[in-house]
Structure 1
Amino acid sequence: MTNVKGRTVAPVAWDAPDVDWDAAAGAFDDEPDHGLRDPQIRAAWAARLRSWLPERPADVLDLGCGTGSLSLLAAEQGHRVTGVDSSPVMAERARAKLAGYDAVVLCGDAAAPPVGERRFDVVLVRHVLWTLPGPDRVLRHWRDLLRPGGRLVLVEGVWGTLNPVGIPAERLTALLAPLSPEIRVERLSGDPLLWGKAVTDERYAVVAGMGHRSGQ
């Protein structure tokens, strides 16, 4: 449990399903919010992404990029994108989507992406953090991948009724509080265009600015 302003906040549920992501890659884009094939859904995500990313062209690291749908939107908006996914099949599909853009897709672990000494303006992560053990350690590592003044953009939520999994926004903001002086939570459950349907569970984005850290 974590204490936040005198209240106890439940920990993240770490019982993420054991999914063969290589096998799942073929049907992954059939989900409306994965493939973004519907023009209205695609436009809704593009608008959100535009509000989360810098106005100027930036270096964006998309961790757990899947088949590259968000990476493609970021590249279309003029950003330089590095995607990382643990599934070779997912990564290959993302490379096909991003062909012709200023983008590269790597195969590797989102918790420890294989980017060497490179630093980024944005670390973008959608529906990944809740599956990773040691979220405080992972967030510190992601923070260290940012340039001074960079930002984390984390899209997360809590799914299911009988055995809910995920990470509540309050829990995530508590984990980010020691790392970021500027945290904004944007609720996403009320926008059915993002998901292709109305949803009642908790879905949100957190944008955490890292400021200009001393000594860097």
Structure 2
Amino acid sequence: MSDQSNAIAAYWDAAATTFDQEPDHGLRAAPTRAAWSRLLDAWLPPAPADVLDVGCGTGSLSLLLAESGHRLTGVDLAPQMVEHARRKLASAGLPADFLVGDGSEPPTGDRSFDVVLARHLVWTLPDPTAALRAWVDRLRPGGRLVLVEGRWRESAAAATPYVPGADRLPWNGGVTATTLAAAVRPLLPHVRIEPLTTDPTLWGGPVPDERYALIAHR
């Protein structure tokens, strides 16, 4: 891995133990879990589908999808995030395959998937456009790309700043729906945007930022 990738992995490894304390990360509150489950059911094809969860973190969305009967493969650059995800699914008695690797180029060999899902990942990537191409390449005919993203305010008072050089990331601080749709359409022309800002249940409270889902079909 590059020095930047090592720094990013180390950052998220350090965050793994407290990551699920955020309402929209751990999905511990029943209303928040139910809200995300409803959205995933609406965005994905009927189960069982083969789903690649890139930047899976601690596996909260993977767990919801496995509970719905989908076949899950999760990828994350941070080994500690992957370990939390494996334990979460194992504790629920649900199968899933979790891999440590770069979400920009998931280490899934020649496997293809019905759905590639990423939530709040693209802003962390040194080359998000290349990642989008890699994800689309892994879609089967008729497959879906589901990206939950946003453009949010960076807190100047953050106790733990993001990795050195983050200001040079193309989409540092998030990406607007207009910009992301423009990047996806040359790869998958059938794109729709679903705004998510106004549903506080998803986030554990009101949010002031632009948040949305992009769903694109092959």
Q: Same fold by TM-score, threshold 0.5 exceeded?
A: yes
- Please list the CA deviations of residues 160-202 of structure 1 after superposition, one character each: whole Å capped at 9, or x if unmatched: 1688811100000000111112111000000000000101210
Q: What is aligned with 1:38?
A: 29
Asked if 1:107 corresponds to 2:100, the answer is yes
SS of alignment partner, residue 151 of structure 1: strand
**1:198 pairs with one of 193, 196, 206:** 206
SS of alignment partner, residue 194 of structure 2: strand
Q: What is aligned with 1:97?
A: 88
Q: What is aligned with 2:168?
A: none
Matches for 1:73-84 after TM superposition, within 5 Å: 73-84=64-75
In 2 relative to 1, CA 184–95 (structure 1 residues): closer, same or farther, beyond 3 Å?
A: same
- Please list the CA deviations of residues 33-67 of structure 1 after superposition, one character each: whole Å capped at 9, or x if unmatched: 00000000110111111111111310000001000
Partners of 2:206 and 2:34 lie apart in 1 by 17
Amino acid paired to 2:22:
E
Partners of 1:106 and 1:56 lie apart in 2 by 22
Asked if 1:154 corresponds to 2:154, the answer is no
Q: What is aligned with 1:85?
A: 76
Matches for 1:6-17 after TM superposition, within 5 Å: none
Q: What is aligned with 1:47?
A: 38
Q: For the Cα contact (< 8 Å) 2:47–2:68, is it kept in 1?
A: no
**Aligned residue pairs: how many?**
195
Moved segments of 4+, more than 2 Å: 161-164
Deviation, 1:102, is 2.8
Matches for 1:177-192 after TM superposition, within 5 Å: 177-192=185-200
Q: What is aligned with 2:177?
A: 169
Partners of 2:127 and 2:103 lie apart in 1 by 13
Give the TM-score normalised by structure 2: 0.85
Amino acid paired to 1:171:
T
SS of alignment partner, residue 184 of structure 1: strand
Partners of 1:101 and 1:53 lie apart in 2 by 19
Partners of 1:59 and 1:142 lie apart in 2 by 14
Q: What is aligned with 2:164?
A: none
Percent identity for Structure 1 against Structure 2: 59
SS of alignment partner, residue 81 of structure 1: strand
Q: What is aligned with 1:209?
A: 217
Q: For the Cα contact (< 8 Å) 2:9–2:78, is it kept in 1?
A: no
SS of alignment partner, residue 94 of structure 1: helix
Q: For the Cα contact (< 8 Å) 2:51–2:114, is it kept in 1?
A: yes
Partners of 1:76 and 1:18 lie apart in 2 by 28
Partners of 1:161 and 1:110 lie apart in 2 by 23
Higher helix share: 2
Deviation, 1:27, is 0.4
Q: What is aligned with 1:4?
A: none
Give the TM-score normalised by structure 1: 0.86
Deviation, 1:98, is 1.1
- Any stretches of 5+ residues in structure 1 without a counterpart? 1-16, 211-216
